[in-house]
Structure 1
Amino acid sequence: MNRQHYFFALALPPESKKQLHQQFLNLHLPFARLVHEQDLHLTLAFLGGAEEDQLSRACGYVAERLEGFGTFSLAVQSFGCFGRVDSPRIFWAGVKDSPRLMSLQQSVQEACGKAGFQLEARPFRPHITLARKWRGEEPFQLPAASPMMEFAAEKVVLYRTHLDRTPKYEEAQAFAIIT
C-alpha cells in the first residue's frame, strides 16, 4: 500500500491564501505549528493511503461530477477551533453557510465512495486550518476579530501529503469547476 496520504480539497486562489495567512499572523497567537500559506485549502474528502488505480477511478468520478457544476463565491467570516476550548488542537477560519459548497462536498464524497474509499462519517464542517497545537501561557481566547474575505471556488484538487516537506501538500491532479 502506498504510504502517502491523499485528499480532495477546494483550492484557494493564491491572493486569498496570502490575505488569510496575513490576517492570521496579525493575531499574534502562539500556536506550535502554523500552516504554510501555500498549504491553505478547504478539505472536501480525506482519502488516506491509496493505490494508483483507486485514485484514478476517484479522479474520473470527481471529474464527471464537476461537469457543469459552475464556479461560485465563498465568504470567509469566522475563526474557530477544534479540541479543548482553553487549549485548542486546531485553529481555523470558517466559511459562511453555502448550499453550493455543501453540494460540491457531497458530490466529491459520493465520487470517492463509488471508487471504493471508506470516508469519515463525521458531518462536514467547512473550514480552513490555519494552525495547530496551542502553546500559550494563558488559556486560549477566541479572537474578537473575524477574517473578512471572499474568493471564487474555481478548482478542486487531489493533494498528496509529504510530511517531511514545507509546504507539505503537492497538487497531484486539478479539476476546474466548469460553468
Structure 2
Amino acid sequence: MSHHRQVRTFIATIPDQAFTQRLVQASALLKDQAPLKDLRWIDPKNWHITLRFLGNLNPRQLVVLPAVLSKTLAGHQPFSIRFKCIHCFPSTSKPQVIAALFAPSSELLALARASELAARAIALTPEDRLFRPHISLARYSKRQPAYLPQAITFDSLPLAINQVIIFSSELTSCGPIYKPLHKLPLTIS
C-alpha cells in the first residue's frame, strides 16, 4: 500500500551558486561566534526560500499540483531580490532560526501568491500567515537560546530567482531530506 502514502511537500525557490557561496562565507563568521550547542546548522544544499508549505499531499494532489502550479505561475518572469541581513527569525524575542532575510519584493510576493492559489486549487486550507521570505541557516535547539547574533550585513550580488520547485520533505533523525519533485522555470514571455 505504499503507493497510497502521503508525501510532505512544499513549494520553494533556491539560491543560485554565487549567492550560496557568499552566504556560506558569511555564515562561517557566525559559526565562529556562536555556541554550537545552541544551534544546528543547515546544510547549504538544503537552503531555500519557502513560497508555500503544503504539508502532506495524497497521490492525486501530487499528480495534479505541477500542472496547477504551472498555470498559476504563467506570466511570471525571472527577477532578482536584494539581500538585507542575517538575523534571528521570526524575531529576536522568539527566535527559531538564524536566517538570511531579504528586502521586500513585489515579484517574490507574487510567486508566493501564485503558490497559494495552486494550494487552494488542490483543496488545501488557505494559509493565513504573512509571507516573510528567508533562508534558514541554523535552527535553535532550545526555546530560550543563549546566543542571539547582531544583524550581519554584507555586500552581495542580488539573488536571481528563475525557477520554482516542488519539493518533498522526509523528516529523519539526522534532519530533513529534501528532494525536488518538479522544477518549473520562470520564462521570459
Per residue, is there more helix in 1 or in 2?
Answer: 2
Deviations 1:88-118 (A, max 9, x none): 3211111111111111110111111111112
The answer on 1:21 being equivalent to 2:37 is no
Q: Do 1:75 and 1:148's aligned partners in 2 also have CA atoms closer than 8 Å?
A: no
Q: Distance in 2 between matches of 1:61 and 1:148?
A: 37
> How high is the TM-score relative to the length of structure 1?
0.87
Query: Displacement, 1:62?
Result: 1.0
Secondary structure class of the residue paired with 1:125? coil
The answer on 1:173 being equivalent to 2:182 is yes
Q: Distance in 2 between matches of 1:133 and 1:147?
A: 23
Per residue, is there more strand in 1 or in 2?
Answer: 1
Counterpart AA for 1:74: I
Q: Do 1:36 and 1:167's aligned partners in 2 also have CA atoms closer than 8 Å?
A: no
Q: Distance in 1 between matches of 2:127 and 2:97?
A: 18
Q: Distance in 2 between matches of 1:62 and 1:99?
A: 19
Q: Do 1:86 and 1:139's aligned partners in 2 also have CA atoms closer than 8 Å?
A: no
Secondary structure class of the residue paired with 1:6? strand
Secondary structure class of the residue paired with 1:26? helix
> How high is the TM-score relative to the length of structure 2?
0.83
Of residues 51, 56, 69 in structure 2, which corresponds to 1:49?
56
Aligned to 1:101: 108
Query: In 2 relative to 1, CA 15–83 (structure 1 residues): closer, same or farther, beyond 3 Å?
Result: closer
Instruction: Provide structure 1 residue ranges, at least 5 long, that are not aligned to the other structure.
Output: none
Query: In 2 relative to 1, CA 41–83 (structure 1 residues): closer, same or farther, beyond 3 Å?
Result: closer
**Two-structure CA RMSD over aligned residues (Å):** 2.4
Query: In 2 relative to 1, CA 123–90 (structure 1 residues): closer, same or farther, beyond 3 Å?
Result: same
Of residues 133, 154, 161 in structure 2, which corresponds to 1:153?
161
Deviations 1:57-88 (A, max 9, x none): 22211111222211001111112323673673
Query: Displacement, 1:43?
Result: 0.2
Q: Distance in 1 between matches of 2:74 and 2:140?
A: 39
Query: Displacement, 1:15?
Result: 3.0
Q: Do 2:85 and 2:151's aligned partners in 1 also have CA atoms closer than 8 Å?
A: no
